[in-house]
Amino acid sequence: MRRFTVTDGVAVVTGAAGGIGAALAHGLARRGAVLVLVDRDASGLAAVAAAIRAAHPGRQVWTHQVDLADASATAALAARIIERHPRIRLLVNNAGVALGGRFGEVTLEEFSWVVDVNFRAVAQLTHALLPALRAEPGAHLVTISSLFGLVAPPGQVAYAASKFAVRGFTEALRHELATEGIGVTCVHPGGVRTRIARDARVGSGVDLVEYEAGRQRFERLLTIDPTVAAETILRGVARRRGRVLVGWSARLLDLLARIAPVGHGRLLIAAGSRAGTRRPTAERARTPVSGPRSGADPSSRR
């Protein structure tokens, strides 16, 4: 398969209002792409589009404000994109949300919200836009999984489930599309400096004092600049790599999972305990929190 280039091609990026998504949009603009940017954050999306237009006068930038948790809205978005852009060179499924809490500490509604945004929307949008990718010679598909699509730590059951699903979906799709000349890349970012820790939703049954202590520790591990992450991803896509690991944490935990597929879990449990993700005792108060917020996750705004 020939090296990928996006110049003058249409690039669709979800979760583009901040973090890795915004950095990818800027990187693609520098490479001459026609941009279709999607996010639920209208003001953030407008700011990113304005910055790109200022830096690249004449660059075509289309924006769509959509909550991908809504399947009907996602279908309508795909129809609008296809109508205006029947040929798509690049689709980057970057949008995602995070939820902290063990399985017994989150409701099924909260769990389903994460799966809807992080996996169902990815599969739905890819399915709807696949004809446009097939219509463009040399097209490419990117999905953003996560460090937690490589390992599954305690306290991240919903998020890890959704990101492992993205990983499996992408790997199977890579094999299916290989004979059609469509490249497929699955990305596993490590500690990218985004709003993940601050914007994640907290399960209704999680002890908030303990969670906040763990959140602050976790946030200190987010050291990679989103622009650096985006450039790593775009270089991998240019080379048609099937998988891109971003950061030392992703590379290290990928290696651990390969060497000790089961045994590495003990390290995750120990790390989780130090970070404050232990199961609350019966004496701890469990305070419900407000409804979902679509923010960053460990791999994107993301």
86-125, pLDDT tens digit by residue? 999 999 999 999 888 899 999 999 999 999 999 999 999 9
Query: Mean pLDDT lowest for which of 43-47, 151-155, 211-215, 277-281?
Result: 277-281
Helix (H, G, I), strand (E, B) or coil at 147: helix
- What DSSP letter does each residue of 35-83 carry, written as one string? EEEEES-HHHHHHHHHHHHHHSTT--EEEEE--TT-HHHHHHHHHHHHH
Helix (H, G, I), strand (E, B) or coil at 174: helix
Residue 272's H or E segment, with its range, is helix 264-274
- Least Cα distance to 36 among 81, 96, 82, 67 occurs for 81
Residue 206: which CATH number?
3.40.50.720
237-256 tens-digit pLDDT: 999 999 999 988 888 888 88
Is pLDDT above 50 for 290?
Answer: no
Helices (H) and strands (E) in the chain, counts: 11, 9
Helix (H, G, I), strand (E, B) or coil at 224: strand
Domain coverage including residue 235: 10-274
4, 119, 159, 169: which is the annotated catalytic residue? 159
**Structural domain contains residue 36:** yes
**Buried b or exposed e, range 146-180, using 16+ CB within 10 angstroms:** bbbbbbbbbbbbbbbbbbbbbbebbeebbeebeee
**Structural domain contains residue 294:** no
Is pLDDT above 60 for 213?
Answer: no
**Structural domain contains residue 301:** no
- Least Cα distance to 302 among 10, 24, 28 occurs for 24
Looking at the 3D structure of the chain, how many domains does it have? 1
211 as an active site residue: the answer is no
**Structural domain contains residue 258:** yes
Q: Are 179 and 275 in contact (CB under 8 A)?
A: no
**Structural domain contains residue 59:** yes
- Least Cα distance to 244 among 178, 132, 147, 161 occurs for 147
**Structural domain contains residue 240:** yes
Average pLDDT value over all residues in the chain: 85
Residue predicted with more confidence, 145 or 155: 145
Rounded to whole angstroms, the Cα distance separating 297 from 300 reads: 5
**Structural domain contains residue 289:** no
Q: Are 24 and 31 in contact (CB under 8 A)?
A: no
Distances (CA, A) of 156 to 98, 146, 201, 253, 278: 8, 12, 11, 15, 12
**Structural domain contains residue 286:** no
